Structure 1
Amino acid sequence: MQDDDFSLFTQEMRGVKRISVDQADTGKPKADRQQMNLRRQNASVKVESIRVDGLSDQFVIDVGAEDELSWARDGVQEGQLRKLKAGQISFEGSLDLHGMNIEKARELLWDFLAEATRLEVRCVRVTHGKAARTDGRKPLLKSHVNTWLRQHPQVLGFTSCLPRHGGTGSLYVMLRRTMLEGRDDD
């Protein structure tokens, strides 16, 4: 009887070729690791090269060379702004934008504020200068910085510095701290 089973089996298998691969075909093509790594690299490079900073020049608030600047986002306590103006909140970083063109200043300011935010810095100083222009118009960089800081999501408020820190040519900028809850209530 066993011979009958074997002969039946051999008869049925006539013309069938033996499979040389001992792995099942799942139907999905095997991922090309090199191509996947290249795609990952390209995706990360593209993300880094796209820059949307949100600092607009469509409406710039003109300010005078000697104008004292002061602004606070809704919800910032008056006492905090008074402390900032009095220099009682020490700044932990400083950026000098003197002599830069508008685009370079915007890029540096954005990067500086991003780094300060990443490091959980509470207050920084930004020096924009006064640049009294020969044509009698308002200082360009000071006006732009005043406008940009109001647009930046991490800026809680700013005020002109004390004379020893640059006076009306610099600003103390108070930043939001995101990682440690309750620290903005100092």
Structure 2
Amino acid sequence: MNEKDLSPEFEDEFSLFRDAVDGVKKIKQDTVQFKRNAVRFQGNVVEEQERQHAAEFYFSDDYIPDIDTNATINFVREGADRYLAKQLRRGDIAPELILDLHGLNKESAKRELAALIHACKRHHYYCACIVHGIGERVLKHKVPQYLVQHPDVLAMHQAPLEYGGRGAVLILIDLPEQPPFR
């Protein structure tokens, strides 16, 4: 808008405004960017960032392990007892935690898987059940591929019918050695 376009009644107001702001410098816009892992005082934000970081660190979409996700899912980490998979298949080990991933996308599922493994280690739960459902088979294929990548997953097997059958997997978590009770 030009001063020439102003009506006579606004000319006085415009000149008053111009006199009031005379000598004012334009402010340079500074953008403040916080570090991703900056410590905040809200515990929930820090825990969410840690879960997201763990999910991004362990679970890659680019890595495709050599397991057949179309058949019965069966995995035992190298160096672990092969009998663990049989125990999971038969339902000898009951899950202590159950995670339902219905309705989640891959990114949300990664965060929830990282949180589940973290919770199992913190509370010393040895076995957990992950219900991914069948649906369009995205999570059915991705969840086992993610779990194979995590160093704390000892074994994994398709769940027995009472825990979800083809729509779920049972996992065993590698728990740290507990110090002897004194």
Smaller-chain TM-score bracket = 0.5 to 0.7
Superposition pairs of residues 134-145 of structure 1, within 5 angstroms = 139-145=137-143
SS in 1 for 2:148: helix
Runs (5+) with no aligned partner, structure 1: 1-41, 134-138
SS in 1 for 2:147: helix
Indicate if the aligned counterparts of 1:63 and 1:143 stay in contact, CA closer than 8 A. Answer: yes
Distance in 1, matches of 2:84 and 2:179, equals 17
Q: Sequence identity of aligned pairs in percent?
A: 28
1:58 equivalent in alignment to 2:43: no
Distance in 1, matches of 2:91 and 2:141, equals 22
Indicate if the aligned counterparts of 2:54 and 2:114 stay in contact, CA closer than 8 A. Answer: no
Deviation at 1:63, TM superposition (A): 2.8
Distance in 1, matches of 2:158 and 2:166, equals 5
Distance in 2, matches of 1:104 and 1:80, equals 29
Distance in 1, matches of 2:171 and 2:108, equals 19
The one-letter amino acid of 2:74's match is: S
Distance in 1, matches of 2:179 and 2:142, equals 31
Report the CA distance shift for 1:52/1:164 in structure 2 as closer, same or farther (over 3 A).
Answer: closer
Instruction: Determine the structure 1 residue equivalent to 2:127.
Output: 123
SS in 1 for 2:59: coil
Deviations 1:67-90 (A, max 9, x none): 310101011112222111111011
RMSD across aligned positions (CA): 2.4
Distance in 1, matches of 2:130 and 2:154, equals 14
Indicate if the aligned counterparts of 2:127 and 2:171 stay in contact, CA closer than 8 A. Answer: yes
1:94 equivalent in alignment to 2:98: yes
Count of aligned pairs: 133
Deviation at 1:44, TM superposition (A): 3.5
Distance in 2, matches of 1:60 and 1:78, equals 22
Deviation at 1:45, TM superposition (A): 3.5
Instruction: Determine the structure 1 residue equivalent to 2:113.
Output: 109
Instruction: Determine the structure 2 residue equivalent to 1:18.
Output: none
Q: Which of 76, 83, 91 is the aligned partner of 1:79?
A: 83
Report the CA distance shift for 1:141/1:60 in structure 2 as closer, same or farther (over 3 A).
Answer: farther
SS in 2 for 1:45: coil
Instruction: Determine the structure 2 residue equivalent to 1:176.
Output: 174
Report the CA distance shift for 1:77/1:120 in structure 2 as closer, same or farther (over 3 A).
Answer: same
The one-letter amino acid of 2:110's match is: R
Report the CA distance shift for 1:178/1:69 in structure 2 as closer, same or farther (over 3 A).
Answer: same
Instruction: Determine the structure 2 residue equivalent to 1:148.
Output: 146
Distance in 2, matches of 1:104 and 1:63, equals 20
Deviation at 1:59, TM superposition (A): 3.0
Larger Rg: 1
Distance in 2, matches of 1:94 and 1:82, equals 20
TM-score (norm 2): 0.66
